[in-house]
Amino acid sequence: MKNSVFIATSLDGFIADINGGIGWLDSIPEINKIDTGYTAFTSHIDALVMGRKTFETVLSFGIEWPYKMPVFVLSSTLKKVPSELKQKVFVINGNLIQILDQIHQQGFHQLYIDGGTLIQNFIREDLIDEITITIIPILLGAGIPLFGSHSKSLAFECVKTTLFIDKIVQNKFVRVRS
Ligand SMILES: NC(=O)c1ccc[n+]([C@@H]2O[C@H](COP(=O)([O-])OP(=O)(O)OC[C@H]3O[C@@H](n4cnc5c(N)ncnc54)[C@H](OP(=O)(O)O)[C@@H]3O)[C@@H](O)[C@H]2O)c1
């Protein structure tokens, strides 16, 4: 069982700007032409666990649903999903341990965790095993942070660093539990 994060941040650690915008991800246009490992990453994933705000952001793109794997949207407010997504998106709520139990019982063990608040909630309970961060070299100054406060320090080991097009660094960290 593994809970993994694969996310892009600004140089100052934000996943979205102050308005939730992610247009800055395209500030280096060549990024769209290179393989930063997303397909390889998702090939090992059974299901995506997503925060409600990230889900709404994806819906706002108005594109064809981009995920082939089942998507569990964590929310205490979302009542329904668009009818065409009913077999693909499942709204789930509650305590993270119970939520993970429910997802595991359905046979999904390799999970992709996405959304700033959601990732922070997982980190608070030491439930993240692996984090891959692609750093876009732009300082936003403010926005939605990837990391927040939590009560105990958690050690990670950097197992891979890749430099793309001499501009974008990607670091993969694995949780070290003694
Ligand atoms: N840079 C990137 O690679 C990247 C990746 C993903 C997302 N983003 C951006 O990040 C922004 C969204 O992140 P965010 O931090 O604002 O929100 P988020 O984590 O996507 O969603 C937060 C919401 O998830 C629900 N939630 C979280 N933990 C829960 C739990 N234990 N039980 C039930 N519900 C839970 C709550 O929904 P309710 O309020 O409904 O209860 C909460 O308000 C968007 O702008 C998106 O575009 C960027």
Ligand 1, residue 22: give the atom nearest the CA: 47
Whether the predicted pLDDT of 31 surpasses 90: no
Q: Which residues pair with 135 in a beta bridge?
A: 9, 169
Place of tokens 């889900």: 55
- pTM for the full predicted model: 0.97
CA 80, CA 82: separation in Å to the nearest integer? Answer: 7
Span 120-149, pLDDT tens digits? 999 999 999 999 999 999 999 999 999 999
Residue 32 has pLDDT above 90, yes or no: no
- pLDDT score of 87 more than 90: yes
* pLDDT for residue 158: 98
Any ligand 1 atom below 6 A from CB of 76: yes
Angle at the Cα of 16 from the Cα atoms of 28 and 44, rounded to 5 degrees: 80
pLDDT at 95: 95
Q: Is 118 in the pocket of ligand 1 (CB under 6 A)?
A: yes
State the average pLDDT over residues 73-95. 96
- Position 8 scores a pLDDT of 98
**pLDDT for position 178:** 82
Please report the domains of the chain, with CATH numbers, ordered by start residue.
2-153 (3.40.430.10)
The pLDDT value given to residue 48: 98
Q: Each residue of 153-173: b (16+ CB within 10 Å) or e?
A: eeeeeeeeeeebeeebebebb
Whole-number Å distance, alpha carbon 165 to ligand 1 midpoint, is 30
pLDDT for 124: 97
Which atom of ligand 1 sits closest to the CA of residue 21?
45
Q: Is 131 in the pocket of ligand 1 (CB under 6 A)?
A: no
Per-chain mean pLDDT for the chain? 97
